[in-house]
Structure formats: C-alpha cells, structure tokens
Amino acid sequence: MRRTIYQCLLMVFGLASVHAQEQKPNQRLFSVSGGLNAYAGFYTSNGIAARNQSSPFGLSGAVTVNLPGGLSLPFSAVLGNQGSSFRQPFNQFGVSPTYKWATVHAGYRNVSFSPFTLSGHTFLGGGVELNPGKLRVGAVYGRFNKAASSTIADPNLIPSFKRTGYAVKLGYGKANNYIDLVMLRAQDDTTSMAGIPVTPEQNITPAENLVVGITSRLMLLKHFLVEVDAAASSYTRDMQATEVSAEGKNPLTKIFGKLITPRLSTQLTQATQAALGYQAKWGSVKLQYKRIDPNFQTMGAYYFQSDIESYAVATSLNLLKGKARISGSYGRQFDNLANNKNAGTGRSIGSLMMSINPDPTFGFDISLSNYGLSQKAGIRPLIDTLRIAQNNLSATVNTRYSILDTDLSHVFTLTATHQQLSDLNERTAAQTENNNQNLNLGYFLQHNRSGLGANLMLSYTQSGLPTAIPTEGNDKVKFYGPTLGMNYSFFKKKMTTSANASYLGNKQLGVTGKVMTVSANAGYQIAKKQTLNLSLGYLNSNTGIQAEKFNELRGNIGYGISF
C-alpha cells in the first residue's frame, strides 16, 4: 500500500513539474488548504435506547492539495470515541491532463464515447482524445474488471474474471454538432480466476463482447436538431461454448468477422435512440424514439434497461414576452418486444408545466403529471386478480409574492400538492388506492442592514388510506403544525446565531400525538481563520404509539481552524 501511494505521489509531482514549465513566475506550483476541528458534547435520552455516546468528543480534519491543471488531492480523517476513519484518493487514482486540443487519460478513468458503447465504465489503463479542428479521435485501453475468487474464508465474495478491453472513436465536427463512429472490444481472461466457486450460484463463465455504434448531434438550418445513437452488440456469455459458422449472413460479421468468434452462447442485439427537434424564439418541439432489444448489453456500461420501446413528444411555448412559459410532454413505453414473457407491460407518462411571472414580485407555477401502468397477456393469459392497471396523478401549485424595500424584504409562499393513485382493476382497488394532499404557507423576513432574519412555515398533510385497511371511524392520516426560525448577527457579524422550533401534530388510525423539536446554534469568529461553535437540540416525540414516546437532549461545542 505504501509503495502504491509513493508511486502515485511521484507521478503527481512529476506531472506538476511538467505543468510548472507553463506557469508564470508569480504563480505557486501548488497550494494546500484545509482545516482542523475539535469537538465535545453531551447526550441524554429517555424512553428509548441511547442513539449516541453520552459524552462524544473527537478531532476531525481535512486537507486538499491543489496542483496546476485543476488537479486536487483531498485527504480527511476523523478520530474520536465514536470511531475513526481516514480517506485518501489513492485507491483509485487517475489524471486526464489537457493541452490545447489533446487530452491524455492515465490511471483509473471513466470515459464516455456514446451511450450504447463506452459509457462511463471505470477502467484502469490509458487513453487519448484528440480534437484538432473538426477531427474527433479517441482511443482507450485498460482493465475493465478485476479478477476475484470466492473462498471458504470469504464465501460471499462475488467471483469475476479479469476483463480487459479497448475502445476507439473516429468522428468529425464540433462539441455540439458532430458525428462519431465508435467500436468497443472487451473479453475476460479465462485463466485469471483461481479456485472453484463455493456455491453453484457463484459459478460464472468467461464472456466477450464487440460493440459498434454511431452517435451524432447535428444542427440543420439553424433550427432543427437531429440526435441519433445506435449500436449493435455481439455478446458471448460463454467463451467456452461451441463455435458456430456465421459466414456472410450479417453485416456485422462481414465487416468485423476477424474480431468475432460466433458461438452457441453468442447473441446479436441492437439499441437505438433518436430525436428530432425544432427550436425557435416562440418555443420548441421535440420527437423522441427509443428501442433497446431484450438482453442488449455492452461491457462499456454498468447497466441498461433493455427490452423497451418508447415514443415521446415534448413541446414548450414562450408567451407574453418571456413572462409566461408552458411546457408539456407525453410518451408511451412497452416491453416484451420478443413476445416471450408471461405478460407485457405498457406505460404512459404525461406532464404539463406552466410558469407565469407578470411582475418580479409575483409569480406562480402549476405542474401536472399523469403516469399510467397497464398489462396485457403475453405467452400466458392474465389472471384478473393479478392484472396491474393503475393511474398515478400528481398536481402542484406554487405561488410567491414579495414586498421589497431598502431595509426589509417580505416573501410569502403558498404551495399545494395533490397525489392520487387510482387502481383500474376493481378486484385490487380496495387494497391499493390512496391519495395525499399537502399545503404549506410560508413567510420569510429579512432585515438587510442588521442581518436579522425570520421565517414561519405552516404545514398540513393528509393521506387517504386504502379502504381495506381497518380504521376507527377515520381513514385519513393527518400531520399539521408550525415551524419558526430566526437568525441574527452580533458584534459586526463576528457572531452568528440561529434558533428553530417546530411542533408537528398527528392523527392516524384514531390515535393523536405530537412531535416537538427545538434547536439553537451560535458561532463566533475568534480570529480570521478560527471559529468557536455551540449547538443545542431537543426532541420530544409522543405520536400516540408507546414505542415512539421518548425525548432526547444533545449539545456540542467545537473549535475550528482553517488554513
């Protein structure tokens, strides 16, 4: 471990020396910043088991080394009677220095060439991206997965083969107007995993993958935007399976035949997403399409939601000289593309948003969304009691009003939300249907000269339970109460104070209760980079349920120094 850190430090300071040649005489080669904090406190509780040490104390610190080129190395440590920890960046260290149109990758990196080929998978290795003029060239090579074997001492370890691969990109254009061709090739090392899996579930087979794709973002006639991402993936799940002949039957085989070894476990799948948009001063319109074959997979990404096909349209309007904006979208999504599942699922998503700001001191927003879910029979008929057919409606209204002058600022807010789940299957509706309403009224006061601030929030929430849940004459769960906060600065703003208190009443299943919290904080700047902090907190819970009846009191004093 020490040797690894030593090597990384040598590499870091080696890069720093290279950058130093480009530094101006009055610029520092590197800088160090951070801080150290010491704290001590107390904690008491009544009615529940203690959730903290009775007298917590400790030290914490953080140091960041900033090197030229935007490179930073953060270190942090905590030591106290609640535990200790140390964090440093050398477990996975990597750099990507850039000079003009060239970028070099070294160490642990995650690079994206396109959504369906190399898309953010972390690898240990190196690479380069070159963009001279409109030419776009990229290449990476490295280890995408580390070998691991389960043992009797560690039977829960998920085994894996060592996986290496490379990806190349060739394209033309600029950052927002381009077309790229991408290829990724990766495979497992069949000799890298030692030992025999402890359980049959941990038995894995070596795999290999070849993905070729295209990605583009094209601006046409100044207003039209075309986006296309497509890829074909040849994925072999077992490299030890029997080889098969696939001469001249597939374009992918014709072009990349020397890189593919077709086997009985090889599957060829495709993924496509495309969009056509139009944008102008009055607004925009965008049409989107996506299709990902069942079992589509690439070793250059961690996860894909496969077996889906979707259509969507989105639009926006700018009205009243920019004082009003309306946007909306609607889409449909389906699965079971190969018709090999017991049931197929369809989803519909619609949304509408409207924002009106006739004056800088007044405005309101309205948002609506509707999410539908339904099933249809696949290779087997659906049973009515198990059929899913639901609709989820959500609506929110937010209003704000401000009164502003030289000394005082008053801001009033009102937010109302309604959510409703409707079950279209009458056989299951009694167990699933519910609705929720929430109302928040807020007032915020700020004295601009003295720094005095105050806020008051009144909230009310109720939830309608499914009718199948037994209740004592009321199927509503309610929460309501105020929250009050204040802050003020003393001694020419060297000392800052704040206090908050909230009271939340509740009524659920015929039982009433309350939860009350009070907190206070103070901070004093002893010197330019030294502060003293004090905090107190009290919690009293009595929700009407005996297990939730308790109170807690905690306090903390801390000293901090920064550099």
| 3-state secondary structure at position 133 | coil
Q: Which residues of 154-173 are buried (b: 16+ CB within 10 A; e: fewer)?
A: eeeeebbbbbbbbbbbebeb
Amino acid letter, 168: V
DSSP class of residue 160? B
Task: List CB contacts of 291: < 8 A, sequence separation 6 or more.
Answer: 270, 271, 272, 273, 308, 309, 310, 337
Q: Pick the closest to residue 420 from 393, 439, 396 (CA basis).
A: 393
* Pairwise CA distance, residues 356 & 447, whole Å: 28
* Pairwise CA distance, residues 177 & 131, whole Å: 13
| 516 membership: H or E segment, kind and range | strand 511-527
Cβ-defined contacts of 406-410 (< 8 Å, 24+): 406/448, 407/447, 407/448, 407/449, 408/445, 408/446, 408/447, 408/448, 409/444, 409/445, 409/446, 409/448, 410/443, 410/444, 410/445
Residue pLDDT tens, the chain, 563 long: 444 434 444 444 444 444 434 444 445 567 888 999 999 999 999 988 888 889 999 999 999 888 776 667 788 999 988 888 887 766 777 888 888 999 999 999 999 999 999 999 999 999 999 999 999 999 999 999 988 876 666 667 778 899 999 999 999 999 889 999 999 999 999 888 765 555 656 678 899 999 999 999 999 888 899 999 999 999 999 998 998 876 555 666 667 777 888 889 999 999 999 999 999 989 999 999 999 999 999 999 998 889 999 999 999 999 988 899 999 999 999 998 988 888 888 999 999 999 999 988 999 999 999 988 887 777 777 666 667 778 889 999 999 999 988 888 999 999 999 999 888 777 777 777 888 999 999 999 998 888 799 999 999 999 887 766 655 555 688 899 999 999 998 888 889 999 999 999 988 777 889 999 999 999 999 988 899 999 999 999 998 877 788 999 999 999 999 98
- Burial tier of 229 (Cβ tally within 10 Å: 0-12, 13-18, 19+): buried
* Pairwise CA distance, residues 369 & 418, whole Å: 11
* Pairwise CA distance, residues 183 & 299, whole Å: 12
| 20 membership: H or E segment, kind and range | helix 2-20
300 - beta bridge partners?
Answer: none
Residue 52 backbone class (left: φ over 0; alpha: ψ -120 to 50; beta: rest): beta
* Pairwise CA distance, residues 546 & 48, whole Å: 10
The token pair that represents 481 in the structure block? 């109460």
**To which residue do tokens 């004056």 refer?**
359
DSSP class of residue 381? P
Dihedral, CA of residue 257, residue 260, residue 261 and residue 265, to nearest 10: -130
| Complete DSSP assignment for 223-287 | TEEEEEEEEEEEEES-TTSPB---TTSSHHHHHHGGG---BTTEEEEEEEEEEEEEEETTEEEEE
Q: What is the 3-state secondary structure (H, E, C) of 407-433?
A: CEEEEEEEEEEEEEEEECCCCCHHHHC
